[in-house]
Amino acid sequence: MTLGARVGISAEKLANMDWRTNAGFEPVERVILEYAEVMAHNGKVSDDLYGRLRRYLSERELIELMMMVGMSHLVNRFHATFQTELEAAPGEFSTPRKTSSGD
CA distance 39 to 66: 9
Q: What is the pLDDT of residue 5?
A: 84
Which parts of the chain have pLDDT scores under 50?
A: 1
CA distance 56 to 26: 11
pLDDT in tens, 85-102: 877 666 665 555 565 555
What is the helix (H) or strand (E) element at residue 59, kind and residue range? helix 59-82
Q: What is the DSSP letter of 92?
A: -
